[in-house]
Chains A and B, each alone.
Chain A
Amino acid sequence: VIQFEILGRAFRVTRPISDSLEAGLRSRWDFPEYRCDPHPFKLEIEHGSTPTGFPTTASSSMLELFAGTVECWNLEPVIWIGDVTTGIRIELLEGQMIAHTWGVPANIELFHLAIAEGLRASGLISLHASIAARHGQALAFLGPSGRGKTTTLLHSLEAGFVPVCEDFAWCDPDTLKVFGFDRGLRLLPDTAKFFETQFGITPSIWQVDKWFVPYSSLNFERRAVNLKTIALLERDPEQPTDFGPLSKREAALAFWEASGMPLSRSVQDRVSQQIAGMVSRLEVRRLLLGQGTIPFEQV
């Protein structure tokens, strides 16, 4: 049995799973440094055999995972994903998410999917973004892959910010607290060279296609910070680098791109309301990346 808290929410896996699966779950979800108050929402996953009731006739949709496309049946409050050999049944109930997975070997991506859906149902919103903080106030850089989020994060570190996350965070829309949920900077070779020049630290861990610099090597205390500003990154090499205005709908679109689409309709509607609320409470800016340095003193 694995048991730990995810941002105050009790999480447990009630059947024995492999050491590698446990390590994968802890690496992705176990961040005890945030020391959150207990939250009543519970997340529970049981790994075993295929449960009865696997849908065969209901209409399904296709879901893109890293490992490929899987079939998904949304029969709310129950969602089935996969097939009879490997899959997951996710049930969202009042105050809890109960999931049942099956398959040998277990597909950890399905565990991640269920946990993320449960966390969203509990009131959190996920953000694929680079986020930096100064004086406890966070600035999130949003934009599609390749737009320059990581490089902009490194420039913010030069300007005296500390990293909150390079890739992924959870945010509490009520308090606007943001929690980095990755373990370090992942840098493409040219960005790693820039990092080495600027900070005098030579990345030494190579992971798949990027250099990895663990936050633990950067000598700062990791903690929750208040999200104050989001900046949607755009590129135009002809223009001077500068912050500019961003409309609320552009900000909402950027938020949706960053948060991803929840599986269940009820959670989609919840996230929609959360995004509308956050857009009205946050400073929303456009950061045009062009010529010259980023004027971080403006935010």
Chain B
Amino acid sequence: MTGMNYRHNPNVVVTDLDDELVLLDPVSKQMFSLNVIGRLLWLELPRLGLNGALEQITKSFAVSPEQAREDAVSLIEHLFNSKLLELTDPVTDSGTLEVT
């Protein structure tokens, strides 16, 4: 997961509230909201990758690196399974995200 490159699903509509974020999938009509840390992860993940985004998060918020990583991995899996987040590199044959 750490070496993967991520991109936002281009169809997702993003409502940025400065300290929070709302994501809408126009196809499934599902809506998701991210808190301030989730927002930072969403914004930085495509640009910096997981390690870079985690560095930003631990710099900006009082959260331990271990907790930040655990939460980030969980959120990325959720976003990926909800098709809000995509990998720029090919995924496994089964089409699932491999957590390493």
Q: How far is the CA of A253 from the CA of B13 in the complex (A)?
A: 12
Are the CB atoms of B13 and A252 closer together than 8 Å?
no
Question: Does A248 sit at the interface, judged by CB under 8 A?
Answer: yes
Are the CB atoms of B33 and A276 closer together than 8 Å?
no
Q: In the assembled complex, how far is the CB of residue B13 from the closest CB belonging to chain A, in whole angstroms? A: 5
Q: How large is the interface on A (under 10, 10 to 19, 20 to 34, 35 or more residues)?
A: 10 to 19
Question: Does B16 sit at the interface, judged by CB under 8 A?
Answer: yes
Are the CB atoms of B20 and A249 closer together than 8 Å?
yes
Chain B interface residue count, CB cutoff 8 Å, equals 19
Q: A256-B24, A256-B31, A268-B26 are in contact. Are A249 and B14 (CB under 8 A)?
A: no
Q: In the assembled complex, how far is the CB of residue B15 from the closest CB belonging to chain A, in whole angstroms? A: 5
Contact with B along A258-276 (1 / 0, CB 8 A): 0001000100110011011
Are the CB atoms of A261 and B24 closer together than 8 Å?
yes
Q: How far is the CA of A248 from the CA of B22 in the complex (A)?
A: 10
- The residue that A272 contacts in the complex, of B14, B19, B34, with Cβ under 8 A, is B14
Q: How far is the CA of A256 from the CA of B16 in the complex (A)?
A: 13
Question: Does A197 sit at the interface, judged by CB under 8 A?
Answer: no
Q: Kindly report which residue of chain A lies nearest to residue B11, judged by CB atoms.
A: A265
Q: Name which of B13, B14, B16, B34 has the most chain A CB atoms within 10 A of its CB.
A: B13
Knowing that A252-B20, A256-B24 touch, tell me 6 more A-B residue pairs with CB under 8 angstroms: A248-B20, A249-B20, A265-B11, A276-B16, A276-B18, A280-B18
